Amino acid sequence: MKILKPLVLAVMMPIVITPATLGNLAQAQESITLTTDDLQRMAIIFAPVQAVADSDGDRVPATVITPPDVSGTLNAMFEGQLQSWHVETGAEVSAGQLLATLRSEDLLAAQQIFMDAAIAQSHADAALARDQRLFDEGIISEQRLQVSNRDRQLTAVAESSARRRLVSAGFDTNDLNQLKSGNITLGQYQIRAPRAGIITQRLVQAGAKVSDGDALLAMRDDNQLWISARIPARLTVSLRTGSSLTMADSAATITLRQLDRQIDSASQTVGILAEFDAGSDAAVLPGQILTLILPPAERGVRVPADAVVHAGEETTVYVRNSNGAEARVLQLTPSGRHYISTEGLRAGEEVVVQGAAVLKGIQMGLGGTE
């Protein structure tokens, strides 16, 4: 026992209290009398708590994206070689503006199929008109007229299919008429803007080989940008479609537009999509990583993490009173870097933000000098 006593005293030496403070331990563990000297000696610092603000919520990374219902890339519809670009990155373009030219043997074949189908349909139209006239004059049978009508229908289907293949690649009615008349360069694919917007990135160098479906460039239109994020499922309780969200270190505001209703089993996260409010996305670019601030789960007062002492499941905060400090056991909800207290603490009350562990030791009857 004589050997153990010095060891115990050595461990307890960092906590030093006055006789007045020791006397209070016998009165009640919920209240601790502290003099000015005690506060200085034990480096106890108080700070007022504030009402919860939107910036007190949890923070998660988010990626800036183009509107999800509008494709952000323009893809090649034929295999070939990109011959030249006609726009620079950052250029504002109008709908139908020429962006690039591609040389393609696949396109040449598709154009030939269309022209053959158009010629076959023209012949079938003429044959049907002739046979209809002959049938009306009683020269040919109805069966012969039916054969001509069926042939005309088959050629119309073939022409429509070949036409759709070219239209999907950006050929308009004028282009197709020019193709029929032979006033267009065969095998040359002109890539045009499907809508007005801004070219954000050219993805292929001039002279490069491209395959059917390869992305050639990225563009954004005049619509507001969006963000995409995955957030822990436990944080979705306070989220609703239409909720207003904020970004860290930015005045930008966004509105929640989509909240997935299925949790990813591997990450236990939920996907969300939100749209920047009008005029809020001027300083961001697609692909940029931002920090999204989620709304606090509850409203009340914000309690700094340094003010909270944990003992099992119990959380204690030390609040200034006229004699020093009183211990309050509170039900706290984690929120970002802080905690939220919905009752038992008012905005403006001062809590210990440095030295709370020392007060916990005093409250438990530890420490002291002889």
Q: Which tens digit of pLDDT belongs to each residue from 90-139? A: 888 998 899 999 998 988 898 899 999 999 999 999 999 999 999 898 88
- The model's pLDDT over 303-323, given as tens digits with 9 standing for 90+, comes to 999 999 998 888 999 999 988
Residue given tokens 């001039």 in the structure block = 206
Q: What is the pLDDT of residue 21?
A: 42
Task: Examine the pLDDT at 226 and tell me if it is beyond 70.
Answer: yes
CATH superfamily of 59-69+223-293: Efflux pump adaptor protein, beta barrel domain (2.40.30.170)
Q: Of the ranges 10-14, 35-39, 251-255, which one carries the lowest mean pLDDT score?
A: 10-14
Q: Hey, what are 159's tokens?
A: 């022409």
Q: Is 69 helix (H, G, I), strand (E, B) or coil?
A: coil
For residues 206 and 66, give the distance between their C-alpha atoms in angstroms, rounded to a whole number: 25
The predicted structure's pLDDT at residue 143: 92
Mean pLDDT on 174-183: 83
Q: What's the pLDDT at 15?
A: 40
The answer to whether the CB of 218 falls within 8 A of the CB of 201 is: yes
Residue 195: its pLDDT value, please? Answer: 84
Q: Which pLDDT belongs to residue 151?
A: 93
Mean pLDDT of the chain: 83
pLDDT of 170 reads 76
State yes or no: pLDDT of 17 exceeds 60: no
Residue 369 has pLDDT above 90, yes or no: no
Give the separation between CA 92 and CA 89, rounded to whole angstroms: 9
Strand 31-33 to 324-329 pairing? antiparallel
Q: What is the pLDDT of residues 233-289, one digit of tens each?
A: 888 877 889 888 888 877 788 999 999 999 999 999 999 999 998 877 767 888 899
Pick the CATH number of 12-53+299-363 from 2.40.420.20, 3.40.50.300, 3.30.2000.10, 1.10.150.110: 2.40.420.20
Phi/psi at 110 (5° precision) = -65, -40
Residue type, 32: I
Residue type, 50: Q
DSSP type of residue 224: P
Neighbouring residues of 253: CB distance < 8 A, sequence distance ≥ 6: 244, 245, 246, 247, 276, 277, 280
Q: Which fold has domain 75-104+187-222?
A: OB fold (Dihydrolipoamide Acetyltransferase, E2P) (2.40.50)
Q: What is the reported pLDDT for 126?
A: 93
pLDDT of residue 117: 92
Which position has the higher pLDDT, 235 or 142?
142
